[in-house]
Amino acid sequence: MDASFCIDALEEAIEEAIEEAIEAYGAPEIFNTDQASQFTSKEFTDVLKSNGIAISIAGKRRWIDNVFVERLWSSVKYEEVYLHAYDNIRVARKSLKRYFTFYNSERKHQSLENRTPDQVHYDKAERLAA
């Protein structure tokens, strides 16, 4: 497997994160991935290291580590991406931003006892602060 596509995507994500979010959230501190060859290649890990980002690689046969993300992207694909023919990247970003706002603040999740992710997160934050 060729890592060049993944490296290009990583570099674009780092650049965008730095431009848009660094003031509010700071630079990314850690990158978590599985042991796929494109993510463990020297070229890919060098990009992370050169940006001061720590690398976390799941252990072998740790498929469970990715279940949440796999479910999330399945929802994104079937509830948003596959239903729209985006004209360009700008439209796709705007539509995906709208979807993630909906996903986190309005869409009830059976696995969260029919609450939204925001409700779960903020309820927990309030309990911790009390």
Q: Is the pLDDT of residue 62 over 70?
A: no
Structure tokens belonging to residue 94: 């705007």
Give pTM, 2 decimals.
0.56
Instruction: Provide the residue ranges of all domains of the chain, joining segments of one domain with +.
Output: 1-61, 64-130
Q: pLDDT higher for 113 or 130?
A: 113
Alpha-carbon dihedral of residues 63, 65, 69, 70, nearest 10 degrees? 10
- pLDDT given for residue 30 in this prediction: 81
